[in-house]
Amino acid sequence: MRPGNSPFHQGRIWPIVAFGLTFVLTPGSAWAAASRPSEGDLSSRLAELAKPSVRSAPPAKQAEELSLAAAGPGSLLREGNRVLVEVRFDRGAAAAVDDLRATGAKIVDVSSLYQTVTVAAKPAELGDLAAVPQVAAATEVLTPFTSTSTCPSGAVVSEGDTQLHAKEARETPSELTGSGVTVGVLSDSFNRAREAATRQRTDVAAGDLPGFANTCEDEQTPVEVLDDSESEGEDEGRAMAQIVHDLAPGAKLAFATAFTGEAAFAENIEALAKSPAEGGVGARVVVDDVSYPGEPFFQEGPIAVAVRHATEDGAAYFSSAGNNSLLDLEGHEIGSWETAKYRNSGSCPPALQAFPELHANACLDFNPAEGQTDKTLGIKVPAGATLTVDLQWKEPWHGVGTDLDAFLLDSTGGLIAASAEPNPERPLEFFQWENGSAGQRTVQLVVNRFSGDTPRLKVAFLENGFKEGQWGLEYPQSSGSAENDPAIDVVGPTVFGHNGAAAAMTVGAVHFNSTTFAEEYTSRGPVTHYFEPVEGSTPATELLIPEELSKPEIAATDCGKTSFFAIFESPVWRFCGTSAAAPHAAAVAALMDEAKEKEPPNEPAEPDEIRAALQSSAVGVSEADECEVGTGLVDAVNAVEDLLTPPPPPPVEPECEAPLAEVTVANAQAIGNWGTESPPAPPTPPSGETIQPSSPPDPETDTTPPATFFRRHPARVIRTHTRTATAGFELGSNEAGTIFFCQVDAGTTKKCPVLFSRRYRIGPHVVFAWARDATGNTDQSAAVFHFRVKRVR
């Protein structure tokens, strides 16, 4: 699949007809006459699809009517002539299965935890679905993204097996092959793509996969396929399995699809990790390359919760970072735009004011400069590209009190796309717009607050590796100087959802013949969570201190060879993207797990041990930073060595941090106004508008180390009903301008923010913290806090 084929599941969205580029909506249009949709059983898109005039149209015309792509990531996820729908109940989901089946719908999955039934339904059956008793909502499932890239790979034939030193690890006296370890793979499909150059049986006969026909005696256990129900898949899961088999040929392989909705994806993760006695396959390593667009930005969703459960069951979990990084001509990372607090400009562009039902009087101010406003965000979209806009804000699932809407204007100020759905369950708006012209076009994003509060919000542009042409963003750099300052805007980070979960090892991509650069499209971190995970259908509690995660942790190979996927560069097929990098890292983890079991006390490696060894042993990528590759490129030989003989913790572990720059009137003006309105007259720059750093203290006169203490900490005993709990800390010092370093339990020592939070397992824990002042004096006696996480029934 192309970059961006990771599963993106979409929340309910208000459809608007996608008109041609030269068509401008007017108050007299059919769209204007329609009232804003109220909350109902069917999402607005499904209600539109159920109309006879739409459901009888060809799929491409249906997509146009729904403001979605006709195919690929973000499009309606289909099963033949049916569409996948997630039907949510307030209660009694399992009991409603027969009623749903009676409508003609095909049952795909039932989740009692989230009271959701995923069905495949014909458009003509959608109205009957809504009539089933106790239905709270029915929402379309959008095709997820897989992190595959179709970028050129070069002429040199090489493999991650050599680049990551896996071949060298297998040739050590331990003769590591991954024997005794099961690796679970999740992607689109495994053996369903009839147009593929090979099939499973030919791969087995050629030695590219294990199975009965494999001539290698130790590689004859067939891949265990739990769920291969995605009939429209391209067998990306089989390509991932080939990579694992290349590096860890002795490992057993298992597969389950991730393309049947978020709830089913989460269940398949847990099924792979559970022991055979519990009905699973007992995978010690699990890897996926999928992202659903509706996964939350600001908390862990159901898929991330399943990842955590898998690691608690002992499985090391690897996920692709994604291929959503975008660069402009100046090299700015422009894949996302985020602001710490909704800035109300006090009005909206004329195209929205023409529709009273939109309440378009509180549009977002995108300009961070004080005293200036800009009601639109200019975006340059290359010819042939599809702009995918994923807007989310800082409120928990099932506890949404604010209703934001997203609109797209053309260069004349005409409305060309929108998402304006009521948001009772997810703080989400999503739409797509294709630039079908022959040249680059500049469009304007508008966000209006229909009702509610002024929360933090983020817009991600999910382009999944599209590089044909140059993108641009009106405000291409982060700005601001202090946390919670409403002028802080963060530009760039694109890791989100379970790909950025605390329990997952997030993997960036490095080309197979490079050790210098990360792949340009590799999604960047960091990730910050503000709420507890989504558990069931009640709102999660806000965290006392946000959970800040440095992502990705590591990088691995992409664009290596496969037998059939995804780009044919005669005489080989090459598989590019972080989708390919993740299984490379997972295969090395299988070698590590086997190595640990061969050493007394002959026990498998814990996920945290594998994580620590991979990070401590990674080789630096000279022209990449921590937000692209974490600690560096995986090295199998060094990773095994560090796992068996852990090195002393380094003084500092690299951290991925979102860049911030001082915002001034001058540099805000220099960005230029891309809006459809005339730029406001610049105010007189105030005296000393740029804040200069204070003079550093003289190192010859300051030799006194600072004192470190905890300003805030959790209770000594944290009680939880689950297997983990979140604990937050606030660090303090008796000197201004200090930085802090932390160590949790027996982990590595690394730089940490003043406010930091993470999840802890059941049992005792200890946190150490040291302050270092501006002249390099470090507190020699750490602040120490002991506590225990206790599970209660």
* pLDDT mean over 216-224: 86
What is the pLDDT, as a whole number, of residue 224? Answer: 97
Strand order in the sheet with 441-451: 415-419, 403-409, 441-451, 377-381, 472-473
Domain extent, residue 396, equals 337-493
pLDDT at 695: 41
Number of structural domains in the chain: 4
**CATH (domain of 55):** 3.30.70.80
Quick check: is 95 in a domain?
yes
Asked whether residue 657 is assigned to any structural domain, the reply reads no
Confirm whether 534 is domain-assigned.
Answer: no
Could you tell me which residues come within 8 angstroms of residue 367 by beta carbon, excluding any fewer than 6 positions away?
Answer: 373, 374, 475, 668
CATH number of 758's domain: 2.60.40.10
Average pLDDT over residues 638-652: 82
Q: What is the pLDDT of residues 532-556, one digit of tens each?
A: 999 999 999 999 889 999 999 999 9
Within this chain, do residues 190 and 307 fall inside the same structural domain, yes or no? yes
Per DSSP, the residues of 140-204 read EPBPPEEE-B-S---S----HHHHTTHHHHHTSTT----TT-EEEEEES-SS--TTSS--HHHHH
Q: What is the mean pLDDT of the chain?
A: 85
Alpha carbons 207 and 219: distance in angstroms, whole number: 8
Q: What CA dihedral angle connects 465, 466, 470 and 476, to 10 degrees?
A: -50
Looking at 475, 493, 511, the residue that finishes a domain is: 493
Classify residue 668: in a domain, yes or no.
no
What pLDDT sits at residue 758? 81
Q: Mark whether 438 and 344 lie in a shared domain.
A: yes
Lowest average pLDDT, out of 71-85, 93-107, 147-161, 452-466, goes to: 147-161
| Alpha carbons 80 and 318: distance in angstroms, whole number | 31
Residue 156 pLDDT > 50, yes or no?
no
Is 285 found in the same domain as 413? Answer: no
* Contact (Cβ atoms closer than 8 angstroms) between residue 509 and residue 556: yes
SS3 33: helix
471-485, 641-655, 709-723: which is most confident:
709-723
CATH of the domain at 247: 3.40.50.200
CATH number, domain with residue 428: 2.60.120.380
- CA atoms within 13 A of residue 408's CA, in its CB half-sphere: 32
C-alpha 331: how far from chain center = 22
The tokens for 621 are 């990528």
- 371 token code pair: 């005293």
Query: Which of 151-165, 708-722, 724-738 is least confident?
Result: 151-165
Mean pLDDT on 484-508: 89
What is the distance between the alpha carbons of residues 535 and 394, in angstroms, rounded to a whole number?
A: 17
**Spatial contact of 112 and 16, defined as CB atoms under 8 Å apart:** no
The residue from 493, 511, 538 where one domain ends is 493
Can you give the pLDDT at residue 653? 56
Please tell me whether the overall predicted TM-score, pTM, comes out greater than 0.95 for this model.
no
* Pair (95, 218) in one structural domain: no
Quick: pLDDT tens for 760-778.
888 888 899 999 988 888 8
Q: Which helix (H) or strand (E) holds 6?
A: strand 3-6
Q: Which residues pair with 135 in a beta bridge?
A: 89
Percent of the residues in the chain that have a pLDDT greater than 90, as a whole number: 57
Is pLDDT larger for residue 666 or for residue 732? 732
In a domain, 507, yes or no: no
Tell me the pLDDT band of 184, cut-offs 50, 70 and 90. very high
Edge to edge, the sheet with strand 285-288 lists 224-227, 252-257, 182-187, 285-288, 316-320, 505-511, 554-558
Q: Which of 451, 471, 493 is the last residue of a domain?
A: 493
Residues 7 and 292: beta-carbon distance below 8 Å: yes
pLDDT of 720 reads 78
Rounded distance between C-alpha atoms, residue 512 and residue 569, angstroms: 15
pLDDT, tens digit, 9 for 90 and up, residues 236-282: 999 999 999 999 999 999 999 999 999 999 999 999 999 999 999 99
Instruction: Convert the pLDDT of each residue in 364-384 to its tens digit.
Output: 999 988 889 999 999 999 999
At residue 651, the 3 state secondary structure works out as: coil
- The reply to whether 472 and 368 lie within a common domain is yes
User: Is residue 314 located within the same domain as residue 373?
Assistant: no
C-alpha angle with apex 315: 314 to 321, nearest 5 degrees? 140
State the residue for tokens 């009273």.
356
Q: Which residue has the tokens 């921590």?
A: 626
Rounded CA-CA distance 6/578 in Å is: 10
For residue 229, tell me if it sits in a domain.
Answer: yes
177 with 316, same domain? yes
Q: Are residues 101 and 154 in the same domain?
A: no
- Domain assignment present for 686: no
Residue 153 has pLDDT above 50, yes or no: no
- Closest by CA to 240, choosing from 226, 227, 223, is 223
Residues 603 and 600: their CA atoms lie apart, in Å, by 7
Edge to edge, the sheet with strand 717-720 lists: 717-720, 783-791, 763-772, 739-744, 750-752
- The pLDDT confidence band at residue 44, using thresholds 50, 70 and 90, is confident
From residue 732, alpha-carbon distances to 446, 478, 710, 739, 782 in Å are: 41, 27, 6, 10, 12
Question: Is the pLDDT assigned to residue 511 strictly greater than 70?
Answer: yes
Instruction: Dig out the tokens for 549 from the structure.
Output: 């995660």
| Exposure of 439 in the CB half-sphere (CA atoms within 13 A) | 1
**Which of the residue ranges 157-171, 335-349, 471-485, 675-689 would you say has the lowest mean pLDDT?**
675-689
In a domain, 232, yes or no: yes
| CA–CA dist 540, 531 (Å, integer) | 6
Name every residue whose Cβ is closer than 8 Å to that of residue 629 and which is 6 or more positions away in sequence.
508, 510, 518, 522, 552, 554, 555, 621
Same domain, 130 and 193: no
pLDDT band at 674 (very low <50, low <70, confident <90, very high): low
Residues 375 and 440 in one domain: yes
Write out pLDDT tens, residues 744-754: 887 778 888 88
**Same-domain status, 176 and 305:** yes
Q: pLDDT tens digits, residue range 471-492?
A: 999 999 998 654 445 568 999 9
What pLDDT is stored for residue 676 in this prediction?
Answer: 46
Phi-psi region of 709 (alpha: psi -120 to 50; beta: other; left: phi over 0): beta
